[in-house]
């Protein structure tokens, strides 16, 4: 958590959320749709369905 700071300097609470995307992935030989963070997609932590 943190603060959003307006021009006047007033602070209100805010949250940061992970950048998740719907992706078809392979789990135990089955293709499933799941929400995966972009960092995991980029670093290859998950096996995307349809890739050779």
> Which residue segment(s) compose the domain that 39 sits in?
17-52
pLDDT at 50: 84
On whether residue 3 sits in a domain, the answer given is: no
Closest Cα partner for 21 from 9, 32, 34?
Answer: 34
Note the pTM of the prediction, 2 decimals.
0.68
Question: Cα–Cα distance between 36 and 24 in angstroms, integer?
Answer: 9
Give the CATH number of the domain where residue 21 resides: 2.30.170.40
Please write the tens of the pLDDT for every residue from 5-50: 999 999 999 999 999 999 999 999 899 999 999 999 999 999 999 8
pLDDT band at 51 (very low <50, low <70, confident <90, very high): confident
Could you give the count of Cα atoms lying within 13 Å of 37 in the half-sphere of its Cβ? 7
On whether residue 39 sits in a domain, the answer given is: yes
- Indicate whether 52 pLDDT > 80: no
- The total number of structural domains in the chain stands at 1
């Amino acid at each position: 958590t943190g603060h959003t700071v307006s021009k006047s300097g007033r602070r209100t609470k805010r949250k940061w959320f992970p950048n998740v995307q719907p992706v078809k992935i392979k789990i135990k030989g089955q293709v499933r749709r799941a929400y995966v963070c972009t960092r995991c997609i980029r670093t290859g932590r998950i096996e995307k369905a349809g890739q050779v």
